[in-house]
């Protein structure tokens, strides 16, 4: 069996690492995996270092497609992925998450009548202004196998009339959290590098278009970061797009004493997530990692597809209001860490379930 895996962004590298490891370790004689990197995240900090740290095989194809508006990027990816699929003639195309790379892979495969398997199917924010929401809905519609990370995702698909080929596999991100947490603690020197003390700093990220492309929202968020940095250190690994927008909007001075860094290697980020007293983020992956590591999280969005983190009380959804962010920080900064004994995201064996279902071609 041949599987073509389409990846392009940091979260997808992490997810793909768990599945690719199972393929190599348990199914090397049955499955030939062809990795295709679209290039959506292209520089060393956003891409190459992840392949090194996660021990992901070098992509067979690197399409080097990045930048441009959504339509331009997705269209170029669609054309290039189609060429790869025509050459490789796979049995399955495996896609992850909700990026433009996800959508391009799904559409290219569907138009060639190649079955699509979607990891992280069924997630919904119910906000159609989010590019990710459009991507995930369309990807689910053309997928043959839909691997849901939670029961809530299964219910979302049922509400849309999608029941065939749907599996609650659990979340491959939980697999990754369990696999890399101790490795990150032992190998990362990020705490020492940034002069941080465990449980005495905040970790922040901000990259979603709904925040970065709106100067008022971004201004309120960075104002909150700057205010929090007056009480405890705040570390902000900065996405290239966010960095550009801060400069273009003239907002950099509002960050005050925030420790701004380049995007961090995966193990450094995991080490800081585990050691932080609180995490402030608009990233879906970071929300979950905060939950997995028992660290209070404040989500800088108006809605989230990871509803389980909210219902358990581990995550506060606050939007972009400076006052709401600061109030949430005051509420959670002193709270004790949670000990995660059971999660709605499975038992840490999602990748094994996914590969088994693909290898045995179970419906």
Known catalytic residues? 207
The Cα 287–Cα 125 span in angstroms is: 14
The Cα 312–Cα 25 span in angstroms is: 35
- Is 93 within 8 Å of 112 (Cβ atoms)? no
- The residues, any chain, with a CB within 8 Å of residue 139's CB and separated by 6 or more, are 95, 98, 102, 103, 106, 116, 118, 121
Distance in Å from the first CA to the final CA of the chain: 16
Sign of torsion over alpha carbons 174, 33, 139, 101 = positive
- Is 150 within 8 Å of 342 (Cβ atoms)? no
Backbone dihedral region for residue 199 (phi beyond 0: left; psi -120 to 50: alpha; all else: beta) = left
Tell me the CB-side half-sphere exposure of residue 76, using CA atoms within 13 A.
13
- Is 302 within 8 Å of 318 (Cβ atoms)? no
Cα angle for residues 354, 61, 188 (degrees, 5° grid): 70
The Cα 121–Cα 344 span in angstroms is: 15
What are the φ and ψ backbone dihedral angles of 297, each rounded to 5 degrees?
Answer: -125, 140
Angle at which helices 172-187 and 10-26 pack, to 10 degrees? Answer: 100
The Cα 241–Cα 210 span in angstroms is: 12
The Cα 233–Cα 231 span in angstroms is: 7
The Cα 241–Cα 243 span in angstroms is: 5
What DSSP character marks residue 316?
A: E
């Amino acid at each position: 069996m041949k599987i073509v895996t389409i990846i392009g962004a940091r979260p997808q590298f992490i997810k793909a690492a768990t599945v690719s490891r199972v393929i190599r370790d348990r199914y090397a004689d049955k499955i030939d995996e062809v990795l295709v990197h679209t290039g959506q995240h292209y520089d060393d900090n956003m891409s190459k270092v992840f392949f090194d740290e996660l021990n992901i095989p070098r992509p067979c194809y690197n399409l080097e497609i990045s930048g441009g508006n959504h339509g331009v990027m997705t269209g170029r990816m669609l054309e290039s992925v189609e060429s790869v699929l025509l050459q490789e003639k796979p049995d399955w195309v495996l896609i992850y998450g909700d990026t433009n790379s996800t959508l391009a892979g799904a559409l290219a495969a569907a138009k060639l009548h190649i079955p699509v398997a979607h990891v992280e199917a069924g997630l919904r924010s119910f906000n159609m202004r989010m590019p990710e929401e459009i991507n995930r809905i369309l990807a689910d519609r053309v997928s043959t196998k839909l691997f849901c990370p939670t029961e809530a995702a299964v219910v979302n698909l049922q509400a849309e009339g999608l029941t065939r080929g749907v599996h609650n596999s659990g979340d491959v991100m939980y697999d990754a959290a369990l696999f890399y947490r101790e490795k990150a603690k032992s190998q990362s020197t990020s705490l020492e590098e940034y002069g941080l003390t465990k449980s005495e700093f905040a970790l922040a990220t901000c990259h979603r278009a709904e925040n970065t492309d709106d100067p008022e929202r971004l201004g309120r968020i960075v104002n909150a970061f700057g205010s929090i940095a007056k009480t405890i250190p705040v570390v902000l690994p900065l996405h290239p797009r966010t960095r550009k927008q801060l400069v273009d909007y003239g907002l950099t001075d509002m960050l005050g004493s925030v420790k701004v860094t380049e995007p961090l290697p995966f193990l450094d980020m995991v080490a800081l997530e585990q050691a932080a007293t609180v995490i402030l983020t608009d990233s879906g992956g970071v929300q979950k990692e905060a939950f997995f590591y028992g660290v209070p999280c404040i989500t800088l969005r108006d809605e989230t597809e990871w509803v389980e983190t909210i219902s358990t009380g581990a995550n506060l959804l606050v939007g972009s209001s400076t006052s709401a962010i600061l109030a949430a920080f005051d509420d959670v900064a002193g709270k004790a860490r949670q000990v995660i004994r059971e999660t709605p995201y499975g038992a840490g064996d999602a990748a094994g379930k996914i590969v088994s279902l693909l290898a045995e071609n179970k419906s």
